[in-house]
Amino acid sequence: MSYPFYSALINFATALGVSYLVFLKNRKSSVSRAFIVFSGSGGFWALNYALWQSSQVEAQALFFIRLAMTGVMVLIASFLEFGLRLIQKEKKYPLLRMVNLLAAFAFLFLSFSPLYIREVHAAGGFRFWPVPGLAFHFFMAYFAGMVFLVHGLLLGAWSTAPRMLRKQIFLVLTATFVGFAGGFTNFFLWYGIDIPPYGNISVSICILILTYAIVAEKLMDIEVIIKKTLVFTGLFLLAISSIAAVTVLIQKLAGEYVSPPAWVPITAGVFLGILVYEPVRAFLVAVTDRYLFQKKVDYKLLLKEASQRLAEIRTLKRLAVMIVGFLIRRSKICRAAIFVRQSSDSNFALIASRPRREAGCYLELEASACSEYFQQFRSPVEIEDVREHSERGKPGAREMLREMNQSRATLILPGFLRSSSAKSGKEKLKLKCILFLGPQKSDRPYTSEERDALYTLVQESVIAIENARLFDEALRRSWELAETNRDLLDANERLKETQASLVAAEKDATMVGMAKAIGHEINNPLVAVLGRSSMAEREYKLWEEMLDTAKGFLGKEKSGLMEHSLLKSRENLAKITQAARRIEIVVHTLTHILKDTQGQMEPLSLHVLVREAIEAAHFVESNGRGVSVEHDIDANLFVLGNLEQLIQVFVNLLKNAKEAMAGQKKARILIRGTMDPERAQTALLEVEDNGPGIPAPALPHIWKQGFSTKVKKGGGLGALGQGQGLFVSRHIIESVHRGTLQAENLLPPAQGARFSVRLPVVM
């Protein structure tokens, strides 16, 4: 067997071992899963590489080298995933990841075809070296491109990464650079360059560097398993070495004289292993702690750094989280939790813990064994001491041991604060916080130096904790005051709204009186107009009879002119009567504007309503004939309403649109009527103009009585700028007809305003 064979076996063993350890400890992590695939595919390549090297038949060698290269394809694809997940940028490059997977699947599909590896032949001292096919050249480009791309991404993330992640990225960069650099030596012989693959062993070096990153820099948080594995391996080697050494020694010394039974040296070796077991175990734990996991803690520096951080934080939650995290990171402790006494009662509440526990966990101070014990001894409590005190029957020791077991704590540290009694004036120590600590990551008990240092740290933290608690309480009270102030402001706003409603009600009452007075004054001449119109209608009938009698005397031409004149006069009289009737309806609406009366409601054709409104608008405003009016109303669209009131609303909207475009060339009004696409059983009528639109500040106020954007002209009823039209129109639509009337400006580049009327339809 050759060097490539043994290096491949070493690569396989190291890759498989690290993949298995990561799988056991932290397989739920996405980074760990990507690493397992990356390392496992490297192990798969190494195993088949060794089988290829040991092959004696050409077909067998071709099969194993092709199988080995499938591991390389998976390795390079998973390398990108591992790198992106390590720097937490997997979601930033979805297209790159998809292309990477598609390329890997394409090469896997071709891996057992001649397009990838045509055959094997003798080259560089190897009996069966592969000959690349056409697809292999593309794979080499993909392989090299991915290696450089991932290393570039890692380098880019290294400069801005946090300190711990920066070390991890550096180690991964170093390891993969060494591994791929050595792995590239395999490809020279593929292209006829006589350089053997001596760099294969660098794959194991890559795995060892990654192992160091896992152990020393917590790359995948599996340090405890590795530590125990190392200790177990050392103890196993100790047992084997003890038996072997004693056996060899006995056989060498006593073999010349006697031939002892086989069980004698084995028993002696086992006895020797038992004697040296504990010292060796302690030595291995100390070595792994010192050089891999548990560096010596400088407690003076620890206390100094903690004091600086305590002064920077105000809120209790952040302070507690900082203390717990600081102890976990710097003191190498497995778990920690801090309980703080609340001001409102005598309970201790859990403020922060790691691993996280359920918030709101309480300890009863009066009944607590911890409190009872600390009031007696006022010192740290270690679980071994508590067990001893429990066996001796000391008060509170048994309950305290139960609480420590429940919290999985091995050390509890009290925090006291001096306070003066208001009555006696004497100073008294009050228990303010309790810190629960789990075992150290080294699994060794706390030394007296460590207990004293941690106890000093807790005492220094008590003042900061109390200040933070008082700060939180003051902050909470300020929030309560702010909330009370907001409630008062809301009450004041509601009071203002009530006052405004009372003022509006008073105005409405005034308006009712004015409306009745106006109605009375208008009705008097209106009755005369309607009466005279009725009399004129009867006289027209008489004139028609007289004209029929006199046709023979007047002649054809004069009688025709007389008929035409009488017809036009009758049409004008009909329009006068119609306008008077509308005035009568308007007066009736005005006098009942504050009452939700509907009058006569009947099914009405929306198309007919619009045509009538256009005709009425042209009649009451002769200048309206200069405005282009277009309408598009769906056929068979009927609404339930009052004819005259709806015509009054539509006429008002048309007049407003015309007045908004006064002096404008190419003035246009577009009327659309259809079923509302957003509301069932509702008709939508839109009146749209191409004028300047409604000023944005005025848009919310156009429905208010008396508000107008027009220049007021005259003080008579119906004069321009009185601010009554839209107020009355909205009342008619919403209060009487149970519809809606809304206004908006057209969106650029169009200009103008749009009024939308929604009315219930009759099916």
Q: What is each CA distance from 114 to 111, 120, 135, 189, 331, in whole angstroms?
A: 8, 11, 9, 18, 59
Tens of pLDDT, residue by residue over 64-119, are 888 988 988 888 888 888 888 888 888 888 898 899 889 989 988 888 889 999 89
**Can you count the helices (H) and strands (E) in the chain?**
19, 15
Tens of pLDDT, residue by residue over 5-39, are 888 788 788 878 777 777 776 667 777 888 888 88
**Per-residue pLDDT at 511 exceeds 60:** yes
Q: Six-digit token pair at 161?
A: 């990464």
Q: How far is CA 352 from the centre of its chain?
A: 25
At 622 the pLDDT is 41
At 319 the pLDDT is 80
Q: How confident is the model at residue 623 (pLDDT cuts 50, 70, 90)?
A: very low
Q: Six-digit token pair at 22?
A: 């990561």
At 742 the pLDDT is 92
Q: Six-digit token pair at 447?
A: 């030394």
Q: Six-digit token pair at 187?
A: 């490809």
Q: How confident is the model at residue 672 (pLDDT cuts 50, 70, 90)?
A: very high
Furthest CA-CA distance within the chain: 178
Cα angle: 275, vertex 276, 278; to 5 degrees: 100
Q: How confident is the model at residue 685 (pLDDT cuts 50, 70, 90)?
A: very high
What global pTM score does this model have?
Answer: 0.37
CA-nearest of 132, 130, 139, 134 to 104 is 139
- All residues at 6 or more sequence positions from 698 whose CB lies less than 8 Å from its CB, including other chains: 707, 709
Tens of pLDDT, residue by residue over 303-337, are 677 776 676 666 777 887 888 877 777 777 888 88
**Per-residue pLDDT at 160 exceeds 80:** no
Least confident of 187-191, 363-367, 607-611, 635-639: 363-367
Q: How confident is the model at residue 636 (pLDDT cuts 50, 70, 90)?
A: confident
Tens of pLDDT, residue by residue over 119-140, are 988 887 888 889 999 999 999 9
**Per-residue pLDDT at 718 exceeds 70:** no
Tens of pLDDT, residue by residue over 249-268, are 666 666 555 566 655 665 66
Which neighbouring-strand residues pair with 754? 688, 744
**Per-residue pLDDT at 225 exceeds 50:** no
The number of CA neighbours under 13 Å toward the Cβ of 535 is 6
At 92 the pLDDT is 86
Mean pLDDT of the chain: 76
Contact 158, 152 (CB under 8 A): no
